[in-house]
Structure 1
């Protein structure tokens, strides 16, 4: 066990549309874990808050505008990733401006929670599914 792993903080969004579906994107060829489905997001840059980083990443990856106030912390995951240790902060977002487009991903799609469980996802995303199901039951969303 590594005593002092390099922490790698990242943020991701659970975008929920008016029908309660969730947006996922497929990692493009040439990237680590290519072909796997994930929630949009990315790295927190030095000097950024997690929320500001996520708003920036959603603009870069999907071409949408998200207000920091519309990001609600949902859950997190912690996973070893080679020499680094991934800390993934997941936020729920029900409101944005623009139509999401796959600017950096192979493709995007809207899925239900049941669909989500059938997708091949990175190992760090799997522990998030229980909290996602709870959030959708509590605040509304497709089952």
Structure 2
């Protein structure tokens, strides 16, 4: 089974959301940055690589966030990890249409991709919000 990893990059009381620019069926929907774990790569290694490729930032990876989310009609699974930026680098939308930092009360202000919705539901406690 393919593993897709995502990073819930948290800074203070906000999490980074990324707007998809492609493919057409996902454009305009929001997600956590990440991608496929390549052969020989750990999930953490894949996330560090994906954040560098998609956002041009170094990150440290923390604990898992939310449940395993089945994708591709059961042929893949999404696993999201909490992450933090390293140093002063700020994310840049190299592969996304836009980036937004969302506080807990703003999480539902963007249309998330369906696979990311269970992760969004698990975020408020990590952002210093009560449910």
Q: Give yes or no for TM over 0.5.
A: yes
Over residues 63-90 of structure 1, what are the superposed CA-to-partner deviations in whole Å (9 max), with x where a residue is unaligned?
A: 00124xx4322233323425x5331111
Check whether the contact 1:23–1:39 (CA below 8 A) recurs between aligned residues.
yes
The residue aligned with 2:104 is 113
Pairs aligned (count): 130
Match of 2:123 among 114, 132, 135: 132
Stretch deviating more after TM superposition (41-50 or 87-96):
87-96
Which residue of the partner structure matches residue 30 of structure 2?
A: 37
- Structural mapping, 1:2-21, within 5 Å: 7-18=1-12, 20-21=13-14
Q: C-alpha deviations, 1:11-65, integer Å up to 9, x for none?
A: 11111113x1110110014455111000111110000000000000000000001
Q: Matched residues in 2 for 1:47 and 1:31: separation?
A: 31
User: Contact conserved, 1:79 with 1:86, CA < 8 A, in 2?
Assistant: yes
- Quote the residue 2:94 is aligned against: 103
Task: Specify the alignment match of 1:86 in structure 2.
Answer: 76
- Where structure 2 has 5 or more consecutive residues not aligned to the other structure, the ranges are none
Distance in structure 1 (CA, Å) of the matches to 2:58 and 2:70: 29
1:4 maps to what in 2?
A: none
Structure 1 CA distance for aligned equivalents of residues 109 and 102 of structure 2 = 10
- 4+ residue runs of structure 1 moved beyond 3 angstroms? 29-32, 140-143
SS in 1 for 2:59: coil
Q: Is the 8 A contact 1:21 1:141 kept in 2?
A: no
Question: Unpaired runs of 5+ in structure 1?
Answer: 1-6
Give me the whole-angstrom Cα distance separating, in 2, the residues matched to 1:49 and 1:21: 26
User: Secondary structure of the equivalent of 1:48?
Assistant: coil
Equivalent of 2:16 in 11, 18, 23: 23
1:74 corresponds in structure 2 to 65
